Amino acid sequence: MNNTKKENVLNIIKDILLKSCVYFAVMPIALAFTGGLVNYFIVIDPNASPDFIMAVYGFYNNPNFLYGTYLMFALAALWAGAAAQVFKIKKIPEASLHIAFFILIYLDFLLIFIPFSPYTLASGSTLYLSIAFIVIYLIIFGIVAAVKKFRAALKEKKSGYKKQFENFNG
């Protein structure tokens, strides 16, 4: 392997690890928030196990629970960091890249988070968490798309370029 290929591979690995670290830092906060929302809007059975209540509310008191959860977060963050590499592909339309990224992240959620998560101790919580995941993803995607559109419009305005066929219905 020549140096340029090694450098490319090392840059990809560095990018995956950097993005994984960001995901790893954000995941516990986002999942505790999501669990709190699910618990607030859905009445938990008064006979629900204390493990589920602890899972929903922050999971900070049980060391065994904590280590297993953070291992799950690490695996999920690594997968998410690798999934973000989809956006490096330049020959595919951006909408397709976002769909591919969503599918990869949802697979991450289904294959790593759901099987290893104590959030799924109560029956029905998997469905609620899946719905919450999709809604939160769509909200974040909407915000990102709006910011990108705003930046592109601002850049176009600064460049002084005016579309010649703006009202063309052709």
Per-residue pLDDT tens over the stretch 105-129: 999 888 887 777 655 555 566 777 7
If you average pLDDT over every residue of the chain, what do you get? 76
Predicted pLDDT of residue 67: 65
pLDDT class for 60, splitting at 50, 70, 90?
very low
- From the list 94, 101, 106, the residue with the least C-alpha distance to 145 is 94
Selected residue with higher pLDDT from 49 and 66: 66
The predicted model gives 77-103 an average pLDDT of: 90
Percentage of residues of the chain with pLDDT beyond 90: 19
pLDDT tens-place string over residues 29-46: 776 676 666 666 655 555
Q: Which amino acid is at 168?
A: F
Q: What interhelical angle do 63-83 and 50-57 show, nearest 10?
A: 50
The predicted model gives 158-163 an average pLDDT of: 70
Answer whether 0.85 is exceeded by the pTM: no
Chain length of the chain: 170
Q: Is the pLDDT of residue 160 over 90?
A: no
DSSP for 22-50 reads HHHHHHHHHHHHHHHHHHHHSPPPTT--H
Domain boundaries, the chain: 3-158
Q: Is the pLDDT of residue 74 over 50?
A: yes
Selected residue with higher pLDDT from 57 and 31: 31
The predicted model gives 50-66 an average pLDDT of: 51
Q: Is the pLDDT of residue 59 over 50?
A: no
